[in-house]
Structure 1
Amino acid sequence: MSEIKFGTDGWRGLLARDFTFANVEKAVNAILAHVHYKGMGNKGIVIGYDTRFLGDQFALLATELANKWGMDVYLTDKPTPTPVIAYGVKVKQAAGALMFTASHNPPEYNGIKFIPHYAGPATMEITKDIENHLNNPKEYVSDKKGETSTYNPWKDYKEHLNSILDLSKLKGLKVVVDPMYGAGSDYLPELLEEAGCHVVAINIHKDPYFGGNLPEPNLEHLGDLVEMVKEENAQLGLALDGDADRFGIVDHEGSYYVPNQLIPLMFQYLAKENTTEKRVIRTVATTHLIDKMADEMGFEVTETPVGFKYVGEAMEQGGVLIGGEESGGASIHGHIPEKDGLLVDCLVALMVVSSGPLKEQWEKLLAKYGNFVSKRLDLRVPEDKKAEILNNLKENTPTEVAGLKVVEVNRKDGTKMLLEDKSSWVLFRPSGTEPLLRVYIESDTQETFDKIAAWAKDYLAS
């Protein structure tokens, strides 16, 4: 039987090989043991699923197991976005939620996330406790069986979103929506239509194969959205990943905007609206344009390791206007500490209504703060060489990169080298699942970026 391991965002596995009913039962029992032995079993638990194969059946199995542990269950009645399920935890003041999803992974995968009582990603401490119960399973059947009720947090979530964003301002905006056949298919179009938008929705029928594509909202997979925005002369294209916790944005010309562009733009917009929260959170791999803006606007920047669970933890400490990561996750003040594609799509729509096309907003931002070129390279290296390369980077960190002196080394997550021009940096991190090294590079010119990229490739080849 394959190993069950909870990673940065739960456990995912290949259906029928890894993600089987037997393995799901083991994983769910470990989560329920964590809840029970932390004394929270009497608070009940929310259970949801997305559009992947057998999601509803895995949710029913989890419900039966939770009832045996004596826990009441709030079971969603249809595929539901992860951030909506997370908000349901807050509404019900539950012990947490079990969400069956493999997010943006290929269709042959499914997975399970545990969302604790604070409605954000599980911390490392919680994950370790769950794995401890997984490795030391305990038989437990409560004297009193828990009860199950049908619950979809959507209505509560919508009311909350309307309380933190004035969606009435969106009236008349023409948008194309692409939920990528995922859990947001019924939700995002409804949210925008109720706000008065003219919505053209594509890829919204239930399809566990995700149209033969990856439900990952980046340029490579958003060709349908790009074409439809142009065809419909829409003002904006809005996408979601498989469980709707990540966002994808296309402007009125069909140009795709990466998170490293959108997070600074959202930061700028929110800073005009809110003068009380004075912190911004970004991961070690996210653009330093945020730092430059924060310095000018009087904000404090908190840098975290990669993974939204670290961003969420930092947001829990309070005083945070926005937290984001370059892989497409963000949340804002007043919301749950969980990444939320629905929230971001609505926020970007408001930005366009308020401040004009994204292209104009981005050009103005660069005119003010200078040019930024950011990108992640996925460079293939043999699995047995990954640790050796990373250890060598740690023990013999280069003092110069592409002719620029290394002035600071950051080991918060991998090895990050900040360079003497004060605009350029390069970060090496391993992929946890593939024979790849992730190399994140940022500079203020394409020429310098290209030199650093060439240096990184040569370094790994040497």
Structure 2
Amino acid sequence: MVIKFGTDGWRAVMAEDFTFANCRVVAQGIAAYVNSRNMAKKGIVIGYDNRFMSERFALECGKVLAGNGIKVYMGKRAMPTPVTAFAIRALDAAGAVMITASHNPPEYNGIKFIPEYAGPAMPDVTDVIEQQVKKVLETGKVYELSVVEAERLELWQEIDMEDAYAEHVLSLIHKESFSRPLKVVVDPMYGAGIGYLDRILEGLGCEVRTVNNYRDPLFGGSMPEPIDRMLGSLKRAVAAYEADVGLALDGDADRFGVVDNEGQFVTANQLMYLLLLHLLKTRSYKGPIARTVATTHMLDRIAKRFGLAVIETPVGFKYIGECLREKGCLLGGEESGGLSIFGHVPEKDGILACLLAAEMLAASGKTVSQLKAEVEKEYGMLVSRRIDIKVKEHEKAQIITRLAEYTPKTVADIKVESINTVDGKKVVLEDGSWFLVRASGTEPLFRIYLETAEEEKMAKIEEEVLKALEIEFF
């Protein structure tokens, strides 16, 4: 068996590959990494989501870490990923283990390691952990302690970080903006974020209703991903309560979803550029903006107007986190719903993103559609789209070869301005339109991202690109 860490940890189907035994193997690999850096005394935080058996998997990981002489800070109950990352800093720990499969279907679970810098692990860390895991699989050596013995040796401590985390995120929010009370519907999607967002918003004087706010390991028969087609119950609740906004979190509360007062889904790209403008108008700190190669260029237009640099990264919040840590970015975000800001942990945080969205609406006294209209009037129109295309296994390598050779001079009769291969192949056109083609690293699938000023132009570009790469899309 091969255990590999993907863009955000190791995920697998429970009872197939994600078993107690393999969980212990990964924990032993992480323990070896921590001990190789002489950080055992600082301890490791363990967080877990609301998935089936997550607390039991967390317990097994904790027993292995303790068995390797590493102090364990175990969450008393389900703890969101951003709260787990925050706990690293609050406790000055060596890192954290998070048991979660984030927004994946309910049959999945996963383990991710968050290093001492409280952001997603970079490849130099996960590569070492993978090598340690490989050794454990070869030798079969896993060291464990019972919880009772770990407590006797002062290697086990239960923690509850909710109050400390809430105090921290409130320090990043302009509380005075909430003098105009908002009507908000919160949807934690049965996940680890239950109780966080609604409690903080109520403390700010908002009138809050909640949906899907109890643990359901089957996530209502769906998956806890806050995207348009998954937020039907939130849209209905916003309409029923005549709310100003609906705010959603994914399974481990690191991603956000927003529904406006009319029940329309607000994309992550749209919310990010609205929040960037809001932050630039309300905060004194000004720093560069970090976005992934697949994220809207509206951020670039706004940053340029304010004289700020934009850093483009490969897909994956770990690269955004690195920019937040090392470049002092005001905001970092990705089109899939990850965001963080200066002064916070360099980990994506859906709770904070939702709070900032609420602050923006309360401070402006305007709806999302009104704010979007103002941006379009000032900065122009941009339409974004992502399509996922599954192909046959044997076709994937052929398409990758064609993609490598694809260097057009024009697309849809528009001159090509630049081509970059930071992550996949991104083609930027003279009129500001662009598209990106990326192959999935784990399955026979291609993702195509497009952004143009109008739908008609997007359709032409899409058609030409699919034809050039010989990809069939139905």
TM-score (norm 2): 0.94
Q: Which runs of 5+ in 1 are unaligned?
A: none
Q: For 1:98, what is the secondary structure of its paired residue?
A: strand
Asked whether the equivalents of residues 244 and 341 of structure 1 are also in contact (C-alpha less than 8 Å), the reply is yes
What amino acid is aligned across from residue 360 of structure 1 in structure 2? Q
Q: Could you tell me which residue of structure 2 aligns to residue 163 of structure 1?
A: 171
* Distance in 2 of aligned mates of 1:407 and 1:160: 44
Q: For residue 41 of structure 1, report the CA deviation from its aligned partner.
A: 1.1
Q: Distance in 1 between matches of 2:220 and 2:9?
A: 25
What CA deviation, in whole Å up to 9, does each residue of 1:174-195 have, x standing for no partner?
1000010011112221111122
How has the CA–CA distance of structure 1 residues 66 and 30 changed in structure 2, closer, same or farther, with 3 Å as cutoff? same
Task: Please give the alpha-carbon distance, in whole angstroms, between the structure 2 residues aligned to 1:417 and 1:393.
Answer: 11
Corresponding residue of 2:67: 68
- Could you list the per-position Cα deviations for residues 332-369 of structure 1 after superposition, in whole angstroms to 9, with x for gaps in the alignment? 01100000000000000000011211111111001001
Q: Distance in 2 between matches of 1:296 and 1:251?
A: 27
Q: Point out the more displaced range, 427-436 or 27-36.
A: 427-436
Paired residues of 1:168 and 1:196 also in contact (CA < 8 A): no
Counterpart AA for 2:290: I
Cα shift at 1:168: 5.2
Deviation at 1:140, TM superposition (A): 7.1
Superposition map of 1:312-461 within 5 A: 312-355=321-364, 356-421=366-431, 423-461=432-470
Tell me, yes or no, if the aligned pair for 1:322 and 1:331 is still in contact at 8 Å. yes
The alpha-carbon deviation at position 433 of structure 1 amounts to 3.1
Percent identity (aligned): 47
Corresponding position of 2:244: 235
The CA deviation at 1:78 is 0.8
CA deviation after TM superposition for structure 1 residue 141, in Å: 5.3
Matched letter for residue 354 of structure 2: D
TM-score, normalized by length of structure 1? Answer: 0.97
- Is the contact made by 1:379 and 1:438 (CA closer than 8 Å) also made in structure 2? yes
2:255 equivalent to 1:246? yes
Query: Post-superposition shift, 1:388?
Result: 2.3
Q: SS at the partner of 2:259?
A: strand
Q: 1:68 to 1:16 in 2, by over 3 A?
A: same
What is the deviation of 1:146?
5.4
Query: Which region of structure 1 is more displaced relative to structure 2, 446-455 or 337-346?
Result: 446-455
1:62 Cα deviation after fit: 0.9
Amino acid at match of 2:186: V
What is the number of residues matched between the two proteins? 460
The reply to whether residue 13 of structure 1 matches residue 23 of structure 2 is no
Cα distance in 1 between the residues matched to 2:337 and 2:393: 26
In 2, the alpha carbon distance for the partners of 1:32 and 1:13 equals: 21
By how many angstroms is 1:390 displaced?
2.0
Structure 1 runs (4+) deviating above 4 angstroms are: 138-146
Would you say the 8 A contact 1:70–1:141 is kept in 2? no
Contact 2:25 2:142 in 1 (8 A): no
Other structure's SS at 1:456 match:
helix
- Work out the CA distance in 2 between the residues paired with 1:454 and 1:299: 35
Single out whichever of 71-80 and 392-401 deviates more from structure 2: 392-401
In structure 1, what is the Cα distance between the partners aligned to 2:36 and 2:143?
13
Residue of structure 1 equivalent to 2:318: 309
Report SS of the residue matched to 1:136: helix
How far apart are the structure 2 equivalents of 1:186 and 1:346?
A: 14
Q: Which amino acid aligns with 2:318?
A: K
Report the RMSD for the aligned CA atoms in angstroms: 1.6
Partner of 2:79: 80
Give the unaligned 5+ runs of structure 2.
Answer: none
Superposed CA offset, 1:227-261 (max 9, x none) = 11011000010000000000000111111110110
